[in-house]
Amino acid sequence: MTTPTLLILPGDGIGPEVMAEVRRIIDWYGEKRGMAFEVSEDLVGGAAYDAHGTPLHDDTMARAQEADAVLLGAVGGPKYDDLDFSVKPERGLLRLRKEMDLYANLRPAQCFDALADFSSLKREVVAGLDIVIVRELTSGIYFGEPRGIITEGNERVGINTQRYTESEIDRVARSAFELARRRSNKVCSMEKANVMESGILWREVVQEVHDKDYPDVELSHMYADAGAMQLCRWPKQFDVIVTDNLFGDLLSDAAAMLTGSLGMLPSASLGAPMANGRPKALYEPVHGSAPDIAGQGLANPIACILSFAMALRYSFDAGEEADRLEAAVEKVLADGLRTADLIGEDGSTPVSTTAMGTAVLAALDDSL
């Protein structure tokens, strides 16, 4: 059996700091659980631009296509704000998603009990929250043509096109239904069918896929703006939410803050199966590069650590080991350890990025 390959792209800002803690956990799994990975590292985003003049070198793209999974830190920063749009750091991430055809973005929003008071909502609203937003990732308004800024008469006009095909909707809907079958068997599809033709098609195709192949899954439909309101009113009514690229971007960030901090949330971007049966996959924390705190030991590595847990579950068929890692994180939080983004008035213990990683490793040791 060949050793699974993992390509690590730390990126910019706090990316290298949080990824360093993940590297320690990967090493722990090799030493303590006999789970060896062939790990390599490369550049993406601003770091790649500084080295190569492009946010993603072609060689790096080729390596990503061959890897069993890609783990990414974060990209971007004010240093790159004045670059041409085509070479901004974020274009490297978009290229990875597009060329690997990572069409299903899974963004869980789970509220650990120890952090329920960190949400801006009441404890009873968020305690025990465990939902997943499945966001279509390779089409929609971020990729549709025509796009650009043109001149009409004496003024400029910005154009972006919302475009979806039946097959693009079909495959992400199937991802959501399959995920729901492993959870609470419930899917809510969100769009704007009341004002957008693409929303009408979205609703029709999701319903068709459900009726044909997933009648056992409970399906509901909701307008995306109403969905945003319901996420704030009573988020525990949902289990799996499936939605398009733009609405998924907005709704998943709103859901992130229900849990108390963006620094807590992982994500998985999955595509079609490769020859070995594993889906093409990229795992990354939901948070950005946070350049204002980079290099200060203040970053929360938990979202990146939990992204690796998702890789264990979805790319390496190691669900029990993913559970072990998630339980270790939960134990550390229950013990009161907090990075800067989670410090409150609850008597918790402030720790650095590295100390948080060390605590997770200790909890993993305790789990043996």
| Catalytic pick among 117, 253, 323, 335 | 253
| Catalytic pick among 29, 142, 283, 314 | 142
Please confirm, yes or no, whether 249 is among the known catalytic residues: yes
Beta 218-223 vs 186-191: how paired, if at all?
parallel
Please confirm, yes or no, whether 225 is among the known catalytic residues: yes
Please confirm, yes or no, whether 142 is among the known catalytic residues: yes
The three-state (H, E, C) secondary structure of 47-75, written as one string: HHHHHHCCCCCHHHHHHHHHCCEEEEEEC
| Catalytic pick among 12, 42, 68, 249 | 249
Question: CA-CA distance, 106 to 112, in Å (whole number)?
Answer: 18
Beta 5-11 vs 38-41: how paired, if at all?
parallel
* Neighbouring-strand partners of residue 158: 149
- Report whether 250 contacts 228 (CB < 8 A): yes
* Neighbouring-strand partners of residue 189: 221, 242
| Catalytic pick among 80, 88, 164, 192 | 192
Beta 349-350 vs 337-338: how paired, if at all?
parallel
Distances (CA, A) of 336 to 81, 115, 196: 38, 10, 47
Phi, psi of 34 (to 5 degrees): 65, 25
Q: What is the secondary structure of 191-250 as a DSSP string?
A: E-TTT-HHHHHHHHHHHHHHHHH-TTSEEEEEEHHHHHHHHHH-GGG-SEEEE-HHHHHH
| Catalytic pick among 225, 236, 323, 335 | 225
Q: List residues with catalytic annotation.
A: 142, 192, 225, 249, 253
